[in-house]
Amino acid sequence: MSRLTALIPLLLVAGCVSTPAALQGEFAPVQPAQAARTGEIGLPVRWGGRVVKVEPLVDRSCFEIVGVHLGEDGRPLPDDQSSGRFLACRAGFYDPEVFLPGREVTISGHVDGYETRRIGEYDYRYPRLAADVVFLWPERRDVDVIVERYPYGW
């Protein structure tokens, strides 16, 4: 019985680091900035980052994302290093009030083209994905840890 009791927390922790089923698969090991330089079409990729904006169109919604590297679970790392911006479009309506700027998403699909858009006065070449999955991660919460030290070793 004690072995089973010890095994349960390990299983729970292992479950926390696994990639959600919708994001599993085989993907090209290329980042958005690399794809923008090479210009390859059809690459299966899984990219993630923070939402810049969502544009609901008649038959689909398109996302502009600031890409960041992903952790082992497929979630964007809380990192200030961009892996390049990208666009992703998926059929259906995705509400801009849910997919707010700064929210973390992971998107899988394949590169189906490139678009040049302006960021300020800079012309930026975006790889564009035909998205199969748009996964919105729960918001991260900052937690303050308070450690109290007792003077008498309690």
Vertex 125: Cα angle to 122 and 127 (nearest 5): 150
Q: How many domains does the chain have?
A: 1
* Domain membership flag for residue 111: yes
126 within 8 A of 117, measured Cβ to Cβ: yes
Q: What is the pLDDT along the chain (154 residues), one digit of tens a residue?
A: 444 444 444 444 444 568 888 889 899 999 999 999 998 899 999 999 999 999 999 999 999 999 999 999 999 999 889 999 999 999 999 999 999 999 999 999 999 999 999 999 999 999 999 999 999 999 988 777 777 776 666 5
Asked if the structure places residue 9 within a domain, the reply is: no
CATH number at residue 89: 2.40.50.140
- What's the CA gap between 107 and 127, in Å, rounded? 13
Within a domain: 65: yes
Q: Is residue 144 part of a domain?
A: no
| Domain enclosing residue 123, as ranges | 22-136
> Is residue 151 one of the residues assigned to a domain?
no
